[in-house]
Amino acid sequence: MSTMSPSQTETAAAPRSSSRRGLWIGGGAVVLIAIVVTLLALSLGGSAPASARMTDMPLYTVKRGPLTISVDVGGSIRSSQAVIIKSEVEGRATILSIVEEGSHVKAGDLLVEMDASDLEDRRIDQEISVQGAEASYIQTRENLEVVKQQAKADISAAEVDLKLAKLDLEKYEQGEYLDLVREAKKKITLAQSALKLAADKLNWSKKLHEEGYITLDEYQRDEFDHQSAELDLESAKSKLSLLQKYTYQRELAQLKSDVEQREFLLTKAKHKASSNIVDAEASYRAKEASFRRENEKLEKIMDQIAKCRIVSPVDGMVVYADRSNRWGRSDDEPLGTGVEVSQRQELMRLPTTAQMVADVKIHEAVFNKVSVGLPVRITSDALPGKVFLGVVHKIATQPDQQSIWLNPDLKVFNTEIEIQGDTSVMRPGMSCLAQIVVQQLDDVLYVPVQAMLRVNGKPTVYVPTPEGPKPRPVEIGYDNNRMVHIMSGLEVGDKVLLAPPLPPSALPTRGPRLPGNGEGGKPGGKASGPKSNQSGDSQPRQQPDRTGAEGERPKRPEGQRPQGQGSNPRPTAS
């Protein structure tokens, strides 16, 4: 084993140190060269011609061909004429049995039977109430007859009493009083005669007494008889005077008062009879009305029990009603045993004709595009490969109120499309897509709508040039939300940018638009573009290339909700 001296060690270390310094110097040179190369590359790239950069931009070549302007909207199929079956049971009722959907029934067949046990209990209670009301009614009816007879008897008795009182008055004035006067005068005459005889006898007895033929007692007796005769005469005259001055007046006043009393009692009897009759009649009418009302209640309950069984009024096929509620969501339970239904709720329909129609809702943005009589192509996922033709038959004049209630900013118009031809394979309730053909252009220029901007209020496209993208104003016609008709400004073969730059004055159009209008797609309106982003980034959004008037729609990003009837309908090109 050899050993190195200190001098040798220093000599060996010196080359290693020199080697390290060389490596650091060489690495720095490499890095410096790389930086220089990068800067040169960037400098060369930055000075590359605009035509080289244009090759990276998505372009579309202007084409000429047929273009279909249409409005696509979803809807559902129903029979043009059908008998609607609704629950007529008040409140809510539970279904005990229901005919299966799709069944063919005949008139009189049982469709639905609902639970009537509560109604049966009410019927029994109501029958008891009817019996009580009937007893009260009969009682008041008989009482009314009794009151009428009693009133008649009371009035008759009062009339008799009045008549008797008048007769007593007349009898006294024309009979009894005159008899009493004659009797009093007769007594006066007899008393005068008796007094004259007594006076003559007294005078004769006085002479006989003076001559002594009779005793003093006999004379005094004759004198007493004379005095008694004088008193009888005075008494008779006094009685006549009393009769004429007092007794007559008193009796006359009493008898007249009796007549007046009887007249008052007669009037009172008549009023009381009338009052009693009115009270009895009122009670009778009240009990009669109560009895009638209780009967009506019983009849209504019986009618409700009968309505728990719904039979088919016509021959037809059973189609269950759509159970979507007012919020557009479907109820949890389909129609079936145990499900509760409410009064006037539609349960099913019985189509009476094979003719079908499609019900759709047209958004206000394209309302002016659609009119009665436009042709329509109808397809359904349930019938793949089949296309049905139809025409717009009816358009509502006012927006759908339910949609407005759900969303005040959403205005859609109910539209009915008449499906022509054989519709025997269709079934009511099927979903469908209706393509309403607004305009059919046979040979026109067109570009995708994403290539179109509005610059200073004018429709503009950007075309590639050696100096970079340049704006070119164009005149446009109708669009279908995918392709827009170019009337002038471009030629076949021209290329346009699918992602044009967005200068501050440019507002991109979106959604179905007609030339110059953001409100329904008619020419001459103002553009309506999207709001700018918050960051102020003016870079264009990259959009998929759509080639051809019948190019495919761009695929929807994952998780994005598709457009439906609650958003702007999406017209398509075909």
State the fold for domain 53-81+354-533+541-574.
Answer: Elongation Factor Tu (Ef-tu); domain 3 (2.40.30)
Q: What is the rounded (10 degree) CA torsion for 349, 352, 353, 358?
A: -20
* Amino acid 233: pLDDT: 85
pLDDT given at position 203? 85
Which has more pLDDT, 48 or 456? Answer: 456
E-only strand ranges, 301-430: 309-311, 316-317, 319-320, 340-342, 346-351, 356-363, 375-379, 388-395, 412-419
Asked if 113 contacts 311 with a C-beta cutoff of 8 angstroms, the reply is no
**Helices assigned H by DSSP within 212-356:** 216-242, 248-307
Q: Is 560 helix (H, G, I), strand (E, B) or coil?
A: coil
Task: Compute how many other C-beta atoms are within 10 angstroms of the C-beta atom of residue 200.
Answer: 12
Give pLDDT, residue 390: 96
User: Lowest-pLDDT range, 39-43, 322-326, 373-377, 503-507?
Assistant: 39-43
Tell me what the mean pLDDT of segment 522-532 comes to: 36
pLDDT-derived band of residue 54, with 50, 70 and 90 as boundaries?
low
**What pLDDT is attached to residue 75?**
94
Domain positions in the chain are 53-81+354-533+541-574, 83-114+308-352, 119-305
CATH number, span 83-114+308-352: 2.40.50.100
CATH topology of domain 119-305: Helix Hairpins (1.10.287)
Contacts of 269 (CB under 8 A, 6+ apart): 151, 154, 155, 157, 158
Structure confidence at residue 505 (pLDDT) = 54
Is the Cα dihedral 163, 165, 166, 168 positive or negative?
positive
pTM of the model: 0.52
**With pLDDT > 90 as the criterion, what percentage of the chain qualifies?**
44
Query: Would you say 362 and 412 are in contact if contact means Cβ atoms under 8 Å apart?
Result: yes
Question: What is the residue type of 108?
Answer: G
pLDDT given for residue 7 in this prediction: 36
Write down the pLDDT at residue 53: 54
Confidence check: pLDDT of 157 > 80: yes
Q: How confident is the model at residue 55 (pLDDT cuts 50, 70, 90)?
A: low
Arithmetic mean of pLDDT, 148-164: 92
- Which CA distances in Å does 537 have to 363, 375, 500, 557? 32, 44, 14, 22
Distances, alpha carbon 229 to alpha carbons 198, 206, 235, in Å? 7, 17, 10
- Residue scoring higher pLDDT (383 or 511): 383
CB atoms within 10 A of CB 526: 12
- Is the pLDDT confidence value at 23 over 70? no
Mean pLDDT of the chain: 78
pLDDT for the residue numbered 535: 34
At 278-294, the pLDDT tens digits run 999 999 999 999 999 99
Q: What is the pLDDT of residue 118?
A: 94
Over the stretch 409-423, which tens digit does the pLDDT of each residue have? 889 999 999 999 988
The more confident residue out of 213 and 103 is 103
**Where residue 553 falls among pLDDT bands split at 50, 70, 90?**
very low
In the predicted structure, residue 342 carries a pLDDT above the cut 90: yes
- Dump pLDDT digits (tens) for 361-372: 999 988 988 999
pLDDT digits (tens, 9 = 90+) for 57-86: 789 999 999 999 899 999 999 888 889 999
pLDDT for 332: 52
**Which among 244-253, 384-393, 510-519 has the top mean pLDDT?**
384-393
